Amino acid sequence: MVFNSYTFIAFFIIILILHNLPFSWKVKKINLLLASYVFYAAWNPPFILLLWLSTVVDYFVGKALYTQTNKHKKRGLLVISLIGNLGMLCFFKYGSFLLDNFVHLVQLLGFHYQPAKPNIILPAGISFYTFTTLCYTIDMYKKESRPVRSLLDFSLFVTFFPHLVAGPIVRPPQLVPQFETPRTASRKQLMEGLFLLSVGLFMKVVLADGMLADPADAVFNSKDVLPGLDAWAGSLAFAGQIFFDFAGYSTCAIGVALCLGFVLPQNFRFPYAATSLSDFWRRWHITLSSWLRDYLYIPLGGNRQGRWRTYLNLMITMLLGGLWHGANWTFVAWGGLHGLYLWVEKFFRDRKEKASPMPVTTTALVLPAYGRKTGVFVSGTTGELIEEPVPHAALKVMPQQGIFNTRLKGLPYALLVFFLVNITWVFFRAGTFAQAGHLLTSMFGFSHGAHPLLKTLPMVKVGVVVVLLLMTQWLLRNTKLTDVAYRLPWWLTGLIWSLMVILLILSQESSGSFIYFQF
């Protein structure tokens, strides 16, 4: 089920009513759990079995990991969990990819081997819920949090429908405490939730699907050499589309959860206003980058084992982060390019730090900046967000000013970062390296005699939406959407909200899947 569908609207109304009826807390949790299974099964019912398997295995293994004192047995249990989770992910997501690469390798060695093509369907959200359950068992192994008391709470933690299919990727301390005490949304939470749901749907339906998807598809699917203008319009359209699509999903998810009284962590903080690549990763898909930091980068040694090892750990993390997005070498290249950017940034930052006794503020690397786990956690009693400590570096660039960031300092860096990120999206969106090369060639002016592809109106749409996107991101880079909604006069918030909902209704885009469903 997708948020931008009539089915979801009907489903959500029913769930809201059920959740506010005077049932016991346990009954309400069972309702939510069953609703989450319906939400998932509405896509492809048989895959619910995988979800059950993952839930049950990790619940019991997690409990055993926490109580087990024998080191060897403990390691054995962790291996069972890792094999179970990663094995499932590898089979469904990377099975065909691994086989293809194996065949290529064998053929390179001179052997003729052509196996039947496996017909594997990727279960929706498998990458997301696998990471959710994995972090639980790893935390249990390290005793970094306590085991979830009941299978019901654990199942709901894994399956809770707002985050199930495309995140935000939640950690047990962020969500489990919220299941321990009865909760329904306060009026304030309900209003904020509905507001965020409207914003998220507007981003997905009107902007991603309605304005940007067609030009992006036209350019990336074109087999012809394109003029630079078309190629840039297509790549910028995709940069906007992927943001509005994924941030739109996360905003919907946070809004939906809030309407039920639950708080999910922020997943995006105006990433295209980032003034460095490390800043970008503090703002883009925050729950994934913090997951990779805590469960991959730091266990690899982080920045504690010398400069060269830090570079290596950084690259491994980014490459695997790229592979997480899809079983294709183009995603690995996307991650690798980001790794390369972070290398360059770190190199200059280190040089600057050496030359200056003052701490450098704008190019601190997100991954090495953290030596411990952080994140957005939730108070079990108040439901308020307890924000992760903002890194010292980020605080320095946060001006003490009004809600809108009107300073121009850092803007050239933000535009440079956007430009660099835009280049990486070409690898992310292109199906093959040839296609990516083709488009990059066109973007950088090596396309003599190319026929123009896009009509003027779609190009105007791309231009207007992308410029407005960058302006909005820059103005709001130090704040949150709900803060803006509160700080504006109520009638202005109401007008903006109306405009979004009217355009949402009028756009009539069909209920297309979110891009991140395939990851």
Partner 1 sequence: MPEKTLSRAAMLMALLVLAVIGSWELYLRWTGLPLDYDDGKELWSDKRAKVYDDPGKTTVFIGSSRIKFDLDIDTWKKMTGREAVQLSIVGSTPMPILRDLGNDTNFRGKLVVDVTEPLFFNNDSAEVQKPDLYVAYYKHRTPAQRASFELNHLLESRLLFLDQESFSLNAELDKKVKLPNRPGVFVFPDFPDDFGRTTFQRQSYMTDKFVADTTLQHQVQNIWLFLMHSGGHDAAPKEDPVPIVLRSVQNAVNKIRARGGEVVFTRTPSSGPFRAGEEHVFPRAAMWDPLLAMTHSTGFYFADNPATAHFTCPEWSHLSPSDATLYTKALINELPPSFVTSK
In the list 59, 92, 195, 519, the residue contacting partner 1 (rule: CB under 8 A) is 195
- Sort residue 167 into left (φ over 0), alpha (ψ -120 to 50) or beta: left
State the DSSP string of 503-516. HHHHH----PPPGG
Nearest one of 417, 428, 170, 172 to 290, comparing CA atoms: 170
Q: Does 147 bind partner 1 (CB under 8 A)?
A: no
Whole-angstrom distance, CA of residue 414 vs CA of residue 273: 5
Angle in degrees, CA 131, 137, 140, rounded to 5? 140
Q: Does 455 bind partner 1 (CB under 8 A)?
A: yes
In the list 194, 316, 320, 360, the residue contacting partner 1 (rule: CB under 8 A) is 194
What is the closest distance, in whole angstroms, from the C-beta atom of residue 479 to partner 1 in the complex? 12
Q: How many CA atoms lie within 13 A of 85 on its CB side?
A: 25
Binding mask 170-189 for partner 1 (x = CB under 8 A): -----------------xx-
Provide, for the chain, the percentages of residues in helix, strand and coil under a 3-state DSSP scheme, each rounded to the nearest 5.
Answer: 70, 0, 30
Catalytic, 112? Answer: no
Number of CB atoms found within 10 A of residue 157's CB: 23
What is the closest distance, in whole angstroms, from the C-beta atom of residue 122 to partner 1 in the complex? 12
Residue 470 and residue 272 in contact, taking contact as beta carbons nearer than 8 Å: yes
Q: Does 402 bind partner 1 (CB under 8 A)?
A: no
In the list 69, 119, 406, 510, the residue contacting partner 1 (rule: CB under 8 A) is 510
In the list 79, 395, 416, 460, the residue contacting partner 1 (rule: CB under 8 A) is 460
Q: Does 10 bind partner 1 (CB under 8 A)?
A: yes
In the list 158, 206, 226, 417, the residue contacting partner 1 (rule: CB under 8 A) is 206
Whole-angstrom distance, CA of residue 45 vs CA of residue 123: 10
Which span sits near partner 1 by CB under 8 A: 161-169, 303-311, 339-347, 454-462?
454-462
Q: Does 454 bind partner 1 (CB under 8 A)?
A: yes
Nearer to partner 1, 13 or 98 (CB): 13
Q: Does 511 bind partner 1 (CB under 8 A)?
A: yes
In the list 210, 321, 335, 339, the residue contacting partner 1 (rule: CB under 8 A) is 210
Q: Does 261 bind partner 1 (CB under 8 A)?
A: no
Nearer to partner 1, 56 or 484 (CB): 484
What is the closest distance, in whole angstroms, from the C-beta atom of residue 490 to partner 1 in the complex? 4
Token couple for 128? 């997301």
State the DSSP string of 339-402. HHHHHHHHHHHHHHHHH-SSPP-S---HHHH-SS----EE-TTT--EEPPPPPHHHHHHS-SS-
Which span sits near partner 1 by CB under 8 A: 5-13, 330-338, 372-380, 470-478?
5-13
Token couple for 129? 């819920």
Helices 456-475 and 213-221 sit at what angle, rounded to 10 degrees?
120
In the list 451, 467, 468, 471, the residue contacting partner 1 (rule: CB under 8 A) is 451
What is the closest distance, in whole angstroms, from the C-beta atom of residue 24 to partner 1 in the complex? 28
What is the closest distance, in whole angstroms, from the C-beta atom of residue 519 to partner 1 in the complex? 18
- Where in 478-507 is the site for partner 1 (CB under 8 A)? 483, 485-486, 490-491, 493-495, 497-498, 501-503, 505-507
Nearer to partner 1, 310 or 482 (CB): 482
Nearer to partner 1, 207 or 439 (CB): 207
What is the closest distance, in whole angstroms, from the C-beta atom of residue 354 to partner 1 in the complex? 45
Q: Does 245 bind partner 1 (CB under 8 A)?
A: no
* Radius of gyration over every alpha carbon of the chain, rounded to an integer in angstroms: 23
Number of CB atoms found within 10 A of residue 111's CB: 9
Nearer to partner 1, 33 or 197 (CB): 197
AA identity, residue 395: L
Q: Which of 285, 325, 338, 438 is catalytic?
A: 325
What is the closest distance, in whole angstroms, from the C-beta atom of residue 32 to partner 1 in the complex? 18
* Distances, alpha carbon 365 to alpha carbons 310, 348, 360, 415, in Å: 11, 11, 11, 18
39 phi and psi, to 5 degrees?
Answer: -55, -45
In the list 14, 45, 392, 399, the residue contacting partner 1 (rule: CB under 8 A) is 45
What is the closest distance, in whole angstroms, from the C-beta atom of residue 108 to partner 1 in the complex? 31
In the list 452, 463, 464, 468, the residue contacting partner 1 (rule: CB under 8 A) is 452
Token couple for 105? 């390798």
Whole-angstrom distance, CA of residue 514 vs CA of residue 322: 18
Nearer to partner 1, 421 or 481 (CB): 481
* Distances, alpha carbon 505 to alpha carbons 10, 192, 202, 222, 514, in Å: 16, 20, 9, 31, 18
DSSP H helical segments within 90-211, as ranges?
A: 95-108, 126-142, 151-159, 161-164, 172-180, 187-201
Q: Does 16 bind partner 1 (CB under 8 A)?
A: no
Number of CB atoms found within 10 A of residue 129's CB: 27
Binding site for partner 1 (CB under 8 A): 1-2, 5-10, 41-45, 187-188, 191-192, 194-195, 198, 206, 210, 451-457, 460-461, 483, 485-486, 490-491, 493-495, 497-498, 501-503, 505-511
Give the residue numbers marked as catalytic: 325
